[in-house]
Amino acid sequence: MTSAAPDRYAVLGNPVAHSRSPAIHARFAAQTAQAVDYGRVLCPLDGFAAGVRAFAADGARGCNVTVPFKFEALQLAGRASERARLAGAANVLGFDGANPAHWWADNSDGIGLVRDIEQHAGVPLAGTRVLLIGAGGAAAGVLGPLLQAGAAEVVVANRTVAKAQALVDTHAGLAATQYARLTAQTLARPGEAFNVVLNASSSSLAGAAVPVPDAVLRPGTLAVDLMYGPAAAPFLTWARAQGATARDGLGMLVEQAAEAFFLWRGVRPVTAPVLAALRAEVDGTA
């Protein structure tokens, strides 16, 4: 007796060799006994559409999309979730054959961050004051779900304030329905003593210092960098020095993957052991 071939998925990006998504999805598949084969596809910078079409035409069922193709991914698919449209980007696609008109697009980044904060870090977002540093793709992906989680106030602070304001404008309707205060600020004067401070800027990749004043933190603030590894280190060191609780983006990575797995398979993996195993690998203890 032969068993059916596994359903195929992959992460598409450029670069993509560093991606931990295959290892995460392999763990999810083993845990839930789902027949899933998850790989990596490097697409040329001008070849995302061709790459994803070829992957779908080859019988794949879906893919994750990473930098720099999340914006293009949203445009390609025939239908998109509300949270993906609000983010202006998609990190999950589902295929039904090779015709993009029959594909769907979603964005699991923001719900991934919310679940990491609430379930793994143990901080309920309802009623909190949140500072979101940055207004690029990473910030756009998480703002909607933060508002939906019930944050009382979100301040978006960015080097280019006009970009923060644009993000505030696109989310103003959601903020109003959630009775949340949503404003754009400069990095120099974003406000003080937030409950949660999120670094969604890429300033550390540029080798720059943490771009906001110490006063945004107070002892006990949860400070999360959406990146992990060396890119997150300067922000986390700074946050700990102020008495904040520092957290990198590894939990968000696992949770966004779990949401994608659920969207594709209809099964929700248990994330805590997968996060613990990944943490050990990243910290070099496994």
**150 — alpha (psi -120 to 50), left (phi > 0) or beta?**
left
Spatial separation of the C-alpha atoms in residues 202 and 276, rounded to whole Å: 26
- DSSP annotation of 102 reads G
Residues with Cβ < 8 Å from 240, sequence gap 6 or more? 246
Residues 109-148 that bind ligand ATR (CB under 6 A): 134-139
**185 — alpha (psi -120 to 50), left (phi > 0) or beta?**
beta
Catalytic: which of 70, 129, 171, 265? 70
Query: Can residue 256 be called a binding residue for ligand ATR (CB under 6 A)?
Result: no
**Cα R_g (the chain), whole angstroms:** 19
Query: Can residue 91 be called a binding residue for ligand ATR (CB under 6 A)?
Result: no
Spatial separation of the C-alpha atoms in residues 267 and 245, rounded to whole Å: 32
Cβ pair 66, 13 in contact under 8 A: yes
Burial degree of 80 (CB within 10 A; 0-12, 13-18, 19+):
buried
Residue nearest to ligand ATR (CB): 136
Q: Which stretch binds ligand ATR (CB under 6 A): 38-46, 49-57, 152-160, 167-175?
A: 152-160
State yes or no: is 70 an active-site residue: yes
Interface pick for ligand ATR out of 96, 101, 127, 160 (rule CB under 6 A): 160
Nearer to ligand ATR, 87 or 123 (CB): 87
Query: Can residue 275 be called a binding residue for ligand ATR (CB under 6 A)?
Result: no
**Closest distance to ligand ATR from the beta carbon of 207 (Å):** 8
Nearer to ligand ATR, 138 or 246 (CB): 138
Query: Can residue 162 be called a binding residue for ligand ATR (CB under 6 A)?
Result: no
Residues 163-202 that bind ligand ATR (CB under 6 A): 163, 200-202
Interacting residues with ligand ATR (CB under 6 A): 134-139, 158-160, 163, 200-203, 206, 208, 211
Catalytic residues: 70
